[in-house]
Structure 1
Amino acid sequence: MVGSARTRRRAALTGVVCAGLTAALAGCGSGDPDAGTNGVGKLSAKRIERKARNAAEQADAVRLSGNVVSKGKTYHLDMRLKRSGAMGTVSEGGSTFTLLRVEKDLYLKADTRFWARQEKGGGKPSRSDVEAAGKLRGKYVKVPPGDPAYKQLSGFADMRVLLDGLLAMNGKRETGDRGEVGGVGTIRVRAGEGNGGILDVSLAGTPYPLRVERGGDAGALELDDWNKDFALNAPAKRQVVDYGRKISAN
């Protein structure tokens, strides 16, 4: 009797374990790609895009890195932006400049090659141009609001303006493949069969846009550090000099 009771208990325990394991395996193998995600993968392409744009509009800060092609020129951006300003670098044509915007004040710090091109009006700089430009090395130039370059340069340092331009897509929307950006799963929204742009939207947490491929081969950028604040201060007066003439961003 004792032996049969022990056998029944062992059989019951085995049944419970097997039932639990079966249920767990069934859950793992349910085939639902949206299990454990924020659920945007189940939405239409237009709704995914709308949620991503809304998330970007409501964010307080972001970091952008990648390439933007405009008017035949390729700019490499590495910018941190927030509502009150921005800081980072922009490279084009072999020269690199640092942008710093604090509220409406815009500062530019560039390498010798950039300033030498300014001395020559965009042409090939002479030795004297390079020597003159060397005096600006390591210094910030405050760009006057009336300077022709202010509007163009401030576009790289304005979070709202930059995001509005980068996230714009053209053509019929459709959902694409699932992907991954920076270790985070994404759902892709394609416009114009990809020719009008491709947007990777996060499937984890807030559906932020994590990568954008601009239509017409106009560049690709990654977006991260959403809502991650950073210090933003105007340079010390001793670091700021007056260039004394109009600046060209080209």
Structure 2
Amino acid sequence: MTAIPQGRTRRAALVSAMCALVVGMGAGCAEDPDAGTNGVGKLPAEQIQAKTRTAAGSVDAVRLSGAVVTSGRTYKLDMRLKADGGTGSVTAQGATFHLLRVGEELYLKADAAFWNHEDGKSDSDTAAAEKLDGKYVKVPTGDPSYKKFSVFTDKDLLLDGLLTLHGSVKTDGHHEQSGVRTIRITGDGGHGGTLDVSLEGEPYPLRLVRAGGAGTLSFSAWGKDFALEEPAKGETVDYGKQLPTS
């Protein structure tokens, strides 16, 4: 067996000792967390935020799921959105309904219990609710429900309102969401919200924790198109200028 020169042994031992010392001090011999990424993890937080907003606005489709708290009410969302509309489910106050918007046309589909959940309704009201069971009800543009629910189907409006961190924006380390490496940025130390931004491929937002406990949302299927069509006439009910009271 060939003997290893003592000088080489001493150098190897010295390198090992230096690495142990550096690691003990909380720094380097570890793998670079930004190696092989899109590089945004090395940028200042303000630039990361700007890049993720640009990336989100540059594609036509996204899936959004999670909870949004607004005006004291929690809405659980599972929506697919693109430039000309969106489709998916919304749950609020224990009731789940389906939203579909194609262009300016907004439809709401729910079961009879959704339309007839109030006590004291007459038999005629109950009969009307049963006729709406599982049907797409066209929401008139002048009805208060149109503005209230159409926002959940508007990709640009929804993302513009959501992808905003409040207060001083800073980075908060490297993380992972659904197997994808991320860089996290926070507003006001987390009190103004936190946003995980993908370090793989485009810097899309992947997870948002809204300020003030106003909900947590996940984003996926960026740029993946999907079919968006108006329901068949046999599946639709048009109530004219005002929806029935729900």
- TM-score normalized with structure 2 length: 0.84
> In the aligned structure 2, how far is the partner of 1:196 from the partner of 1:249?
37
Question: May I ask how many residue pairs the two structures share in their alignment?
Answer: 225
> In the aligned structure 2, how far is the partner of 1:60 from the partner of 1:161?
13
- List alignment gaps of at least 5 residues for structure 2: 2-18, 20-28
User: Residue 194 of structure 2: SS of its match in structure 1?
Assistant: strand
- TM-score normalized with structure 1 length: 0.83
Per the TM alignment, residue 245 of structure 1 is displaced from its structure 2 partner at its CA by 6.3
> In the aligned structure 2, how far is the partner of 1:76 from the partner of 1:185?
26
Matched to 2:133, the amino acid is R
Is contact 2:37–2:201 with CA below 8 Å preserved after alignment? yes
Q: Cα deviation per residue 1:22-76 (whole Å; 9 max; x = unaligned)?
A: xxxx9xx563111011111100010001100000011110000000001111100
- Map 1:38-187 to 2 at 5 A: 38-117=38-117, 123-124=118-119, 126=121, 128=123, 129-187=125-183
Q: Which residue is 2:8 aligned to?
A: none
Structure with the higher fraction of residues in helix conformation: 1
Matched to 1:106, the amino acid is L
Matched to 1:137, the amino acid is D
> In the aligned structure 2, how far is the partner of 1:235 from the partner of 1:204?
37
Q: What is the Cα-based RMSD across aligned positions, in Å?
A: 2.5
User: Residue 55 of structure 1: SS of its match in structure 2?
Assistant: helix
Q: Which residue is 1:11 aligned to?
A: none
User: Residue 206 of structure 1: SS of its match in structure 2?
Assistant: coil
Q: Which residue is 2:236 aligned to?
A: 240
Per the TM alignment, residue 116 of structure 1 is displaced from its structure 2 partner at its CA by 1.0
Q: Alpha carbons of 1:38 and 1:125: their partners in 2 closer, same or farther (altered >3 Å)?
A: farther
Q: Cα deviation per residue 1:171-211 (whole Å; 9 max; x = unaligned)?
A: 00010122111110111000011111100000001000000
Is contact 1:171–1:191 with CA below 8 Å preserved after alignment? yes
> In the aligned structure 1, how far is the partner of 2:245 from the partner of 2:41?
41
Q: Alpha carbons of 1:93 and 1:104: their partners in 2 closer, same or farther (altered >3 Å)?
A: same
> In the aligned structure 1, how far is the partner of 2:244 from the partner of 2:174?
42
- Map 1:27-38 to 2 at 5 A: 31-38=31-38
User: Residue 232 of structure 1: SS of its match in structure 2?
Assistant: coil
Matched to 2:85, the amino acid is G
Identity %: 55
